[in-house]
Each structure stands twice: as C-alpha cells, then as structure tokens.
Amino acid sequence: MSPSEQNPASWLRLLVLAALMAGALPVNAQVVMVTAAAGPVETLSRSEAEQLYLGRRTTLDNGRAVSLLDLPIGAVRNAFYQQLTGKNPIQIRAYWSRQVFTGRALPPREARGIEEAREILVAEPNTIGYLPEAEIDSRLRILLRLP
C-alpha cells in the first residue's frame, strides 16, 4: 500500500509522535524551580509548587504572595508540567482553559524564552519559575528539583 492510500488518521498520529519526539528533553536534563537568590522566597515544597502552578493558590504556606512564570510552549515547559503535575501538554491546556473560562484562576505569565525568564526572576524577587538546571546562574536560588 502506498503512503497516499494509507489512512489519514495514521499520518496524523505519526506527525504528532514525531513532533513530541523532536521536542523531548535530553535524558540528563533536569528541570528546577527557581527564584531570585536575593529574594525572600527560601523554600518551596512540591505540594506548594503543584498547587501554585495549577492555580489552586497564590500564596506560599507562610502567606507570602508570589507570581509565577512559565516558559514558552516547548520541551522544557512540557517536561516541567509532566514532572510536577503528571499532566501532558494537552491536559494542561485543557485544564487552564477551564480555569480561565470559569474565572477560577489565570495561568502564569509567559516569558519569551530562558534568557528573559532569568531576567524577570532576578528583577522580581517574589516571582517563582522553572528552568533547566544547566541554565541556572549565581543570581538564582534553586527551590525544588523535579525528578
């Protein structure tokens, strides 16, 4: 059977699989949650992080209000949400669509890239974000390492 005679749905599945594989993080890349090294946020539990990034709360356990930062759609963001919440990119988009539609919460602010995320995190000490561990510099404090 020639490719033109194959089921279009199988081509779609193949394209989706190829796109997911192309955006995969290297096996040794670790995503970490970070904030400004000079900022007031010193610790973050996994539970707090998950609740914050799912819009279930806007403050830490100690009552401190924080802002959240997302990276653009891509491999690092996908890995972050999968590791923190167990949700894949499609589930996260659907989740946030429901949250916004019902007025329960707004998603984190999105940086244009890793460099901009670093600059925002340093400039705004009450902001929490995530980056590949290899992208961390001395201006940032690691709050949580994801598996």
- CATH no. for residue 128? 3.40.190.10
Cα 50 versus chain centre, distance: 10
Let me know if residue 14 belongs to a domain. Answer: no
* Arithmetic mean of pLDDT over the chain: 87
Name the least confident of 6-10, 19-23, 65-69, 84-88: 19-23
Domain that holds residue 126: 30-145
Let me know if residue 3 belongs to a domain. Answer: no
Let me know if residue 83 belongs to a domain. Answer: yes
pLDDT of 147 reads: 82
Let me know if residue 7 belongs to a domain. Answer: no
pLDDT-derived band of residue 10, with 50, 70 and 90 as boundaries? low
- Which tokens go with 105? 């919460």
Let me know if residue 20 belongs to a domain. Answer: no
Q: Which of 33, 39, 49, 54 is nearest to 108 (CA)?
A: 54
Check whether 17 has a pLDDT greater than 90. no
Let me know if residue 131 belongs to a domain. Answer: yes
pLDDT of 27 reads: 42
What is d(CA 131, CA 116) in angstroms, rounded to the nearest whole number?
11
- Which tokens go with 96? 């946030």
Let me know if residue 45 belongs to a domain. Answer: yes
pLDDT of 22 reads: 41
Domains of the chain: total: 1
Render pLDDT for 64-105 as a digit per residue (tens, 0 to 9).
999 999 999 999 999 999 999 999 999 999 999 999 999 999
pTM to 2 decimals? 0.80
